[in-house]
Chains A and B, each alone.
Chain A
């Protein structure tokens, strides 16, 4: 069974631009969560989607948004990028109502 895939793996943007990251969960997984990982703040929960609905949201500004498609694939978007948005963005999937999350390799975003 294929694991969680994230594209692209690396991304370089400049301040003010916007970016879209993609996550394909493990087949059969309907829950997708997004996390931001930085050296200073550690792993911070962004949001979780289940069956195309956002069920949970972390404490991030509205510049961070996401969506989930009917095939459970998810995208997250960050608008008006700031230097502080530079981070590793991790996607994790799990079965509906399950507890164990499976993580993708992440997208390394650098904002210049």
Chain B
């Protein structure tokens, strides 16, 4: 079984400030971890993913996340927020094995204040 917890359903940051979105996961096997972004009235777009290897993962739009096995965390960060980053962000956990079994977190809405 697997699960994802995203801390904070709403996060507000000032433009130019650090963005930190928290995600903790639970998985009985080595996980695949993802961050997706969703803009209003659109589908989800993959920001970055961790499967194996390097624990610091860089994604699109300047976002990155670090896989910390000991803390079962996969927090998303961006050094400097931009107005265009305002969206909803979803953390997700999956497992390998030839089929899709992905569990999504409840999402965090990011507000960027000018």
Contacts and interface: CB of A to CB of B under 8 A. Distances in A.
Chain B, interface size category, equals 20 to 34
B83 interface: no
Contacts of A56: 99-101
Nearest to A50: B99
Contacts of B46: 100-102
Interface in B89-109: 90, 94, 96, 98-107
Contacts, number: 60
Interface string A73-112: 0000000000000000010101011011111111010000
Contact of A31 (B90, B96, B99, B104): B99
Interface of B: 32, 34, 36, 41-46, 49, 51, 90, 94, 96, 98-107
Interface of A: 4, 31, 33, 35, 42-43, 45, 48, 50, 55-56, 90, 92, 94, 96-97, 99-106, 108
